[in-house]
């Protein structure tokens, strides 16, 4: 039976009716029509569905929607500030950190979460932070390059 | 909903007592979830079909991790694998455990997955388990009649099978403080460097009587080569009380290799796994010995040696 779920998505409080077996991913895409979050494998291997749950990157395909009640979720739709791209998005655009783009929302959210985590943004730490995001196009070099640019743009570097 | 999936009811427990009374009411038709990183995947596959899902993620008091030099590490069952990985004391005093946590899936899964869940799933390849085994972890179990303690090496009965009764809950893991001059290391061998389970995982711990030895304690634990994570007791026996050198390590590694009876599966043949057990036992013992004599590696170095992806 569907039950009410109260959840804040990209700063907006939402009330949705969802089945007990709905994932957070299906709730975002099918109930809230936020289709920027992608469904890749639906079993926690590819990272395409990564969103921030209370500020931390998670695979939204693994989260029971009802388990996220009264939580704050950030999806790719909530990353930019109006028409102004987030520095991470800007870096990916300018440095070719994407090709087909399917994995990109997940990679952007993993990167935003990493930059907020307080971990030292070394190349090795970046690779570990993005280890859970598969990309079949870029070969990752441009992705890492884009993140390194974003590190500088957000002033998170420690030089 | 696809084929094989059955509807379930979803409930949350806020206290241990409440979770246990729900378990008493629903028995085997209930399944406990916390991070739920395994649950939805297995449910979609039709493998797990509970009528009641009881989420304990917000049970108060089980998300704490504390350390004292007297009692060691106390890990609430709901502590996430990510918290374990990042905890400064775990990194310093239980390096194999911090590195094992870092080798576990990816950040997006570690932020959800709990230490208690990794143990209770009882997968032969669970990454935190070999490391917890070498540190002598014990499990605090709560049930209708109070609490009991079970050593982690007595906790598993088979793949997915534990000593937990259907009205019991794992609430805490306690890990004794390692003695002085102790080194530990974990290596995970898997096809992919993240989001993959181990083909073989090996944790080793060596304590020296003084910086030069002899070896006062040694523990070796193996993942993904038996129905449960196991200790390599015969290999340990060869080292305990001895002055350890390269030759003895090789002999013990061979014994660990010859002592396992792994299976063939998609990640590797039984023969391949046996060879890897030998190699990883040797490498983890070598690193544990170095760390026991000279102090722990920093976390990044340890992680670099732990996560070894290879086809």
What is the pLDDT at residue B197? 87
A63 and A8 belong to one structural domain: yes
Is A158 a member of any domain?
Answer: no
Q: Are strands B200-208 and B182-190 parallel, antiparallel or unpaired?
A: antiparallel
Three-state DSSP state, A73:
strand
Which regions of chain B are under pLDDT 70? 310-311
Are residues B44 and A128, on separate chains, in Cβ contact within 8 Å? no
B299 and B187 belong to one structural domain: yes
Is A125 a member of any domain?
Answer: yes
What is the pLDDT at residue A158? 58
Q: Which of residues 121-150 of A touch B (CB under 8 A)?
A: 122, 124-125, 128-129, 131-134
Q: How close, in Å, is residue A83 to chain B by CA atoms?
A: 28
What is the pLDDT at residue B4? 72
Is A159 a member of any domain?
Answer: no
Q: Which of A39, A61, A78 is the last residue of a domain?
A: A78
The model carries a pTM of: 0.97
What is the pLDDT at residue B305? 93
Domain that includes residue B215, residue range: 182-306
Q: Which of residues 65-94 of A touch B (CB under 8 A)?
A: 66-67
Is A21 a member of any domain?
Answer: yes
C-alpha–C-alpha distance, residues B87 and A99, integer Å = 37
Is A27 part of the contact surface with chain B (CB cutoff 8 Å)? no
Nearest CA in chain B to A20: B10
Nearest CA in chain A to B1: A21
Q: Are strands B52-55 and A12-18 parallel, antiparallel or unpaired?
A: unpaired
A98 and A140 belong to one structural domain: yes
Is B2 part of the contact surface with chain A (CB cutoff 8 Å)? no
Q: Are B52 and B30 in contact (CB under 8 A)?
A: yes
Q: Which of A57, A78, A99 is the last residue of a domain?
A: A78
- What is the residue-averaged pLDDT of chain A? 96
C-alpha–C-alpha distance, residues B221 and B124, integer Å = 11
Nearest CA in chain B to A120: B300
- Give chain A's domain count: 2
Query: With 90 as the cut, is the pLDDT of residue A155 above it?
Result: no
Q: Which of residues 56-115 of B touch A (CB under 8 A)?
A: 57, 82, 102, 105-109, 111-112
B301 and B194 belong to one structural domain: yes
DSSP state of A76: G
Q: Residue A147, Cβ neighbours under 10 Å: how many?
A: 26
What is the pLDDT at residue B310? 66
A93 and A44 belong to one structural domain: no
Nearest CA in chain A to B304: A124
pLDDT tens by residue, A16-70:
999 999 999 999 999 999 999 999 999 999 999 999 999 999 999 999 999 999 9
Are residues B107 and A131, on separate chains, in Cβ contact within 8 Å? yes
Q: Which residues of B touch A21 (CB under 8 A)?
A: 1, 5, 7-8, 40, 43
- The secondary element (H helix, E strand) that includes residue B293 is helix B270-294
Q: Are A130 and B108 in contact (CB under 8 A)?
A: no
C-alpha–C-alpha distance, residues B194 and A153, integer Å = 27
């Amino acid at each position: 039976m569907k039950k009410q779920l109260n959840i804040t998505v990209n700063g907006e409080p939402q009330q949705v009716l969802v089945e007990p077996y709905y994932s957070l991913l299906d709730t975002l895409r099918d109930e809230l029509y936020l289709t920027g979050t992608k469904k890749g494998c639906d079993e926690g291997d590819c990272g395409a569905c990564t969103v921030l749950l209370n500020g931390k990157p998670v695979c939204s395909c693994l989260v029971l929607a009802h388990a996220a009640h009264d939580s704050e979720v950030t999806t790719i739709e909530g990353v930019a500030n109006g028409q102004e791209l987030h520095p991470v998005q800007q870096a990916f655009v300018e440095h070719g950190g994407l090709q087909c783009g399917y994995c990109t929302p997940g990679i952007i959210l993993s990167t935003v979460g990493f930059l907020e985590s307080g971990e030292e943004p070394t190349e090795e730490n970046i690779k570990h932070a993005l280890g859970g995001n598969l990309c079949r196009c870029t070969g990752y070099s441009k992705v890492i390059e884009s993140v390194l640019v974003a590190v500088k743009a957000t002033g998170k570097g420690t030089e | 909903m696809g084929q094989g999936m059955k509807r379930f009811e979803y409930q949350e427990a806020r206290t241990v007592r409440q979770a246990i009374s729900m378990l008493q009411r629903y028995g085997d038709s209930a399944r406990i979830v916390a991070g739920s990183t395994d649950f939805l995947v297995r449910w979609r596959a039709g493998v797990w079909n509970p009528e009641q899902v009881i989420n304990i993620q917000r049970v108060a008091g089980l998300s704490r991790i504390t350390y004292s030099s007297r009692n060691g590490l106390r890990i609430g069952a709901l502590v996430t694998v990510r918290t374990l990985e990042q905890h400064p004391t775990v990194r310093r005093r239980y390096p194999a455990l911090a590195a094992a946590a870092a080798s576990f899936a990816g950040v997006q899964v570690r932020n959800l997955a709990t230490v208690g869940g990794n143990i209770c799933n009882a997968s032969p390849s669970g990454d935190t388990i070999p490391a917890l085994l070498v540190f002598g972890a014990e499990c605090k179990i709560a049930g209708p009649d109070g609490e009991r303690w079970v050593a982690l090496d007595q906790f598993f009965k088979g793949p997915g099978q534990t000593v937990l009764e259907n009205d019991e809950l794992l609430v805490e893991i306690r890990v004794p403080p390692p003695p002085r001059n102790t080194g530990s290391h974990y290596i995970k061998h898997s096809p992919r460097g993240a989001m993959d389970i181990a083909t073989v995982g090996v944790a080793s711990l060596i304590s020296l009587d003084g910086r030069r030895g002899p070896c006062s304690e040694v523990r070796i634990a193996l993942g993904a080569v038996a129905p449960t994570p196991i200790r390599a007791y015969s290999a340990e026996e060869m080292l305990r009380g001895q002055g350890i050198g390269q030759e003895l390590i090789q002999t013990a590694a061979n014994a660990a290799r010859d002592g396992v009876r792994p299976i063939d599966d998609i990640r590797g043949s039984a023969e391949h796994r046996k060879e890897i057990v030998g190699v990883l036992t040797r490498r983890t013992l070598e690193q544990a010995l170095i760390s026991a004599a000279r102090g722990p590696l920093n976390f990044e170095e340890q992680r670099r040696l732990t996560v070894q992806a290879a086809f």
